[in-house]
Structure 1
Amino acid sequence: MAISINDLRRVQATQPPRVLIYGPPGMGKTTLASEFPAPVFLQVEDGTPGDLELASFGRLTSLDEVMDAIGALYTEEHDGQTLVIDSLDKLEPLIWAKVCQDNNWQSIETPGYGKGYVAADSYWRDLIEGANALRRDKGMGVAYIAHSTIETVNDPMTAAYSRFDIRLHKRAVGIFQDEVDAILFLNQDVTIKADDPKAKQGAGTRVRADGGGNRWIYAAPRPMFVAKNRYGIPDKLMYERGKGYAALAPHFPNTAAE
């Protein structure tokens, strides 16, 4: 059927959010995800906070198990409203193992020239499509969790500098940057103080990290970290345990804080 000007409609976002939460260890990524509505965790790593009780299939040790869990959520009745995958960087070796198994490779580097990582793209996309099917057909939100790493950026416009990035192969990072609606960086503010406040910082000056203990959700990109959002979330929100989702929810479509 041919497209006509009469087919024009006004549209807006109506589906639950797809977010990626990342940051250094111990910042509260899992805790923040647990605040989302009725979360169901697909855990591929140990590390459940001791004071949380999560709905989980237990630790999943292969990509096949992860996909089976997604299939169960799609085909069986349940009360879950948010799919949480914890964490992507622990899932990545399972994806590589599956790629190697299917291609009879000894390692992801075996085919050379980065071809193993290219082959992994379709496995990542299958995972994302499974999550998207839950979102599209079952009305579930999606929260991916990942750890951060520090990368050096060689910017032709300025001197090289370091930034926080998602701890995944660059091809996988690109896929998730395109796919999700928000990348939220969770971290603690740090200030640098000299031992002698009157001394000029430089050679021979001892400095130390300090901070007030506040944790923040960053939702807009900066040279020092990767972030984004399609929802108009403020660039920076304080993260108070138990109130993180409540701070984000007003910006999500058809969503209200509980």
Structure 2
Amino acid sequence: MRVSCKNGLKAGAIQKKVSTENIGGISLPKLPMGKTPKRTNLSDYIILLYGHPKVGKSTLASQMDNPLFIATEAGLNSLEVYQVPVKTWPEFLEICAAIDKEKHQFKTIVIDTITNLFKFCSAYVCQKNGIAHESELGFGKGWHLVKEEFFRAITKLSLLPLGLVFICHADIVEVKTRTITINRQVPNLPKQAYELITTMSDFIFLCDMEDKAAERFIRTKPSESWVAGDRTGRLPNELPMNYIEIQKALDNAMKNEGGII
């Protein structure tokens, strides 16, 4: 795994251990002997960060615990981070395999941006099937193949014992009600990726600011005007766009009876 970095953090080791039992010559995973402990570190969760360009999404992700950026576009020049540039879907699959198999110190994987990565997946599936666009295969088969390929790889990555952060930009869409039309901020994700990413994410944070001179913050709860989400149900509606402050809020949320929902 080729990783570019400007700082001197030395790679350590992290390995995934799965308990198995041999039955009839076939190794099968054992059933768990105890409950999974609640996760208290924000960097252990699956998070979707979205917002308009240059609002600070990548900066916030860089504050996570030992992050590795899978960079699908330029935009990290002002940050001192470990990053792997990815330009194709096969390159992404190779990086995922390396993350799974190689010894390393990374604890959080950041995909910046997930929208571009989906485009790489789409291009790969189209090329593999000899078509220029998904719609060329009848009955929605092209779109289904792209969705399944994307789902397979992202789900496998999400099951590793690492935190996972998706970054994408925001779109403004018009939502019409019986009386008014509302401009709503939503993650800039294709339909085939939107459901998977938003459902998988424990937190959907809208990185926002009231105006260019205002302090930047994150929105954690959904409204008519934006998409957001907090699986704990206990975070404040707004938080400073700062990892330490968000972690403090999560600590307070986890102290409440029931913990994560």
Q: TM-score range by the shorter chain?
A: 0.7 to 0.9
Structure 1 outlier segments of 4+, above 6 Å: 9-12
CA drift of 1:173 comes to 0.9
Look up the match of 2:240. 238
Residues 17, 181 of structure 1: 8 Å contact kept:
yes
Structure 1 segment 63-78 matched on structure 2, within 5 A: 63-78=89-104
Deviations 1:6-47 (A, max 9, x none): xxx987643821000000000000000000000001111111
Q: Determine which structure has more spread, i.e. the larger CA radius of gyration.
A: 1
The TM-score normalised by the length of structure 2 is 0.76
Across the aligned residues of Structure 1 and Structure 2, the Cα RMSD in angstroms comes to: 2.3
Structure 1 segment 173-252 matched on structure 2, within 5 A: 173-190=194-211, 212-231=213-232, 232-239=234-241, 244-250=242-248, 251=250
Question: In the aligned structure 1, how far is the partner of 2:246 from the partner of 2:147?
Answer: 30
Look up the match of 1:119. 145
Residues 83, 131 of structure 1: 8 Å contact kept:
no
CA drift of 1:112 comes to 5.2
Look up the match of 1:145. 167
Name the SS of the counterpart of 2:136 in structure 1.
coil
- What 5-or-longer segments of structure 1 have no aligned partner? 1-8, 191-210
Residues 240, 246 of structure 2: 8 Å contact kept:
no
Deviations 1:168-216 (A, max 9, x none): 11231111111110110001114xxxxxxxxxxxxxxxxxxxx642111
Question: In the aligned structure 2, how far is the partner of 1:114 from the partner of 1:233?
Answer: 40
Residues 72, 87 of structure 2: 8 Å contact kept:
yes
Query: What is the identity percentage for the equivalent residue pairs of Structure 1 and Structure 2?
Result: 27
Name the SS of the counterpart of 2:180 in structure 1.
coil
Task: State the aligned residue count.
Answer: 216
Look up the match of 1:39. 67
1:53 to 74, 77, 80: 80
Look up the match of 1:134. 160
Residue type matched to 2:217 in 1?
W
The TM-score normalised by the length of structure 1 is 0.77
CA drift of 1:245 comes to 1.1
CA drift of 1:105 comes to 1.3
Q: Does 1:24 align with 2:81?
A: no
Look up the match of 1:99. 125
Cα distance change on mapping 1:115 and 1:162 into 2, 3 Å: farther
Name the SS of the counterpart of 2:147 in structure 1.
helix
Residue type matched to 1:173 in 2?
Y
Residues 43, 87 of structure 1: 8 Å contact kept:
yes
Name the SS of the counterpart of 1:163 in structure 2.
strand
Question: In the aligned structure 2, how far is the partner of 1:127 from the partner of 1:224?
Answer: 32
- What 5-or-longer segments of structure 2 have no aligned partner? 1-33, 255-261
